[in-house]
């Protein structure tokens, strides 16, 4: 609408070109990345939650990131098919829907960034102090609960700025808070600067640990080396995909682009880059589950066990029952003392588990 008075200008042509490129990228994401990301995020959550006993510390964090990715998958089609991303919008939405989408996006971004940060710190703890249970599954579950609560509370402060930016100036309290740059500054500092500093510190400690290899590195209780590569790669990929978005928030905070159209090409380029950076941020919900599937050797085995269980139903598969029976029988025979009557031991070995142990 800014360029309605200059339809034949070069600025308008630049705006049209950027809009066409953004529309193509959005449609490609919705056709290819969105269904794959939705499917794999749901699989990651279901497979791990159905195998809670075998979950490790990294699994809990990746489940947490996958849930945040599902929230992004809910926001993505509404946002990408709206007027901000495509020249052929499917729907228009009002300020209330826009604020709701923005808050859900912010909560997901905070959960993803802080889960990634704490994953790197717990990775260092696991490398430096194995078997201390500081980075155990039990502790990680409680930490993830605090992450979601903290993300909601942090987004509430930004919510006040966003809401007051769209309401009447007659409300005295909101008239002093109609500043979207302040909301972006809060998200920039809490959502990116703090996690980036923590991840940088954790990486320095991890590199120091790797240079000083100890006999603990051969400890059988430590995480599999493939998990180490997965943790480092996931942290790097998350920051690569989210950094452009937070950089646009920083630019908006420092320059106050909102409402300033004195330099039209610059404003057009800024909003194009901002939308492109949001598209990259959405793609993190597509990249992370694929990396988890490729680099975590246990995921495919857990998925196969889950599919077999679903296929066999509540009664369990015959193969699994035979394996369990063999394990129970062997453990019962090992627990029994030597008997002077060989046949008596054979009789006890087929008795029920509780009677045999008694």
Summarised one tens digit per residue, pLDDT across range 282-306 is 999 999 999 888 888 788 788 888 8
pLDDT number for residue 240: 93
CA separation for the pair 150, 143 (Å, rounded): 10
Q: Are residues 207 and 288 in the same domain?
A: yes
Specify if 233 maps to a domain: yes
Q: DSSP character for 4?
A: G
Specify if 7 maps to a domain: no
CA separation for the pair 139, 63 (Å, rounded): 15
Q: Which of the residue ranges 44-58, 87-101, 168-182, 261-275 would you say has the lowest mean pLDDT? A: 168-182
Kindly report, residue by residue over 234-265, the tens digit of the pLDDT: 888 999 999 999 999 888 888 765 555 455 67
- Integer angstrom CA distances of residue 175 from 151, 167, 285: 26, 9, 37
Q: Are residues 146 and 232 in the same domain?
A: yes
Q: Are residues 350 and 258 in the same domain?
A: no
Q: Are residues 243 and 326 in the same domain?
A: no
Specify if 283 maps to a domain: yes
Q: Are residues 231 and 106 in the same domain?
A: yes
CB-based burial label for 334 (10 Å; 0-12, 13-18, 19+): exposed
Q: Are residues 306 and 334 in the same domain?
A: no
CA separation for the pair 63, 71 (Å, rounded): 13
pLDDT number for residue 313: 61
Specify if 6 maps to a domain: no
Question: Domain residues for 235?
Answer: 24-310
Q: Are residues 83 and 169 in the same domain?
A: yes
Q: Which of 290, 310, 330 is the last residue of a domain?
A: 310
pLDDT number for residue 324: 41
pLDDT band for 113, please (50, 70, 90 cuts). very high
Q: Are residues 138 and 29 in the same domain?
A: yes
The candidate with the shortest Cα–Cα distance to 54, out of 193, 256, 170, 224, is 224
CA separation for the pair 267, 211 (Å, rounded): 48
The CATH number that applies at residue 160 is 1.20.1070.10
Domain count, the chain: 2
Question: What phi, psi does 352 have (nearest 5°)?
Answer: -55, 155
Question: What is the number of alpha carbons within 13 Å of residue 45 lying toward its C-beta?
Answer: 14
pLDDT band for 349, please (50, 70, 90 cuts). very low
Q: Are residues 81 and 150 in the same domain?
A: yes
Specify if 140 maps to a domain: yes
Q: Are residues 208 and 269 in the same domain?
A: yes
The radius of gyration of the chain's CA atoms, rounded to the nearest angstrom, is: 27
Residue 67 has pLDDT above 90, yes or no: yes
Q: Are residues 193 and 290 in the same domain?
A: yes
Specify if 114 maps to a domain: yes
The candidate with the shortest Cα–Cα distance to 110, out of 247, 246, 206, is 246
Specify if 337 maps to a domain: yes
Q: Are residues 202 and 332 in the same domain?
A: no
CA separation for the pair 298, 292 (Å, rounded): 10
Kindly report, residue by residue over 68-83, the tens digit of the pLDDT: 999 999 999 998 888 8
């Amino acid at each position: 609408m800014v360029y309605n008075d200059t339809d034949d200008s070069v600025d308008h042509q630049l705006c049209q070109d950027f809009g066409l490129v953004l529309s193509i990228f959005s449609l490609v994401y919705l056709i290819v990345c969105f269904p794959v990301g939705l499917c794999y995020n749901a699989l990651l959550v279901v497979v791990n939650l159905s195998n809670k006993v075998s979950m490790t510390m990294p699994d809990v964090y990746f489940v947490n990131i996958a849930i945040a990715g599902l929230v992004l998958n809910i926001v993505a089609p509404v946002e990408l098919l709206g007027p901000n991303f495509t020249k052929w919008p499917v729907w228009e939405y009002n300020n209330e829907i826009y604020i709701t989408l923005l808050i859900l996006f912010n909560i997901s971004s905070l959960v993803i960034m802080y889960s990634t940060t704490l994953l790197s710190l717990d990775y260092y703890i696991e490398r430096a102090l194995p078997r201390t249970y500081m980075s155990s599954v039990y502790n990680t579950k409680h930490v993830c609960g605090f992450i979601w609560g903290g993300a909601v509370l942090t987004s509430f402060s930004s919510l006040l700025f966003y809401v007051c930016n769209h309401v009447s100036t007659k409300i005295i309290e909101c008239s002093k808070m109609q500043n979207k740059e302040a909301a972006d500054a809060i998200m920039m500092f809490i959502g990116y600067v703090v996690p980036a500093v923590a991840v940088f510190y954790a990486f320095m400690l991890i590199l120091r640990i790797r240079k000083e290899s100890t006999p603990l590195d051969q400890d059988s209780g430590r995480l599999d080396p493939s998990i180490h590569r997965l943790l480092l790669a996931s942290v790097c990929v998350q920051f690569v995909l989210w950094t452009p978005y937070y950089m646009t928030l920083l630019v908006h905070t420092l320059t106050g682009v909102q409402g300033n159209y004195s330099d039209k090409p610059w404003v057009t380029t800024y909003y194009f880059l901002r939308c492109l950076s949001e598209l990259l941020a959405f793609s993190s919900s597509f990249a992370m589950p694929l990396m988890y599937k490729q680099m975590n050797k246990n995921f495919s085995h857990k998925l196969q066990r889950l599919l077999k269980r679903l296929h066999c139903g509540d009664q369990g598969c015959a193969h699994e029952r035979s394996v369990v029976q063999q394990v129970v029988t062997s453990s019962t025979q090992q627990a029994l003392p030597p008997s002077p009557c060989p046949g008596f031991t054979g009789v006890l070995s087929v008795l029920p588990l509780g009677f045999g142990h008694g």
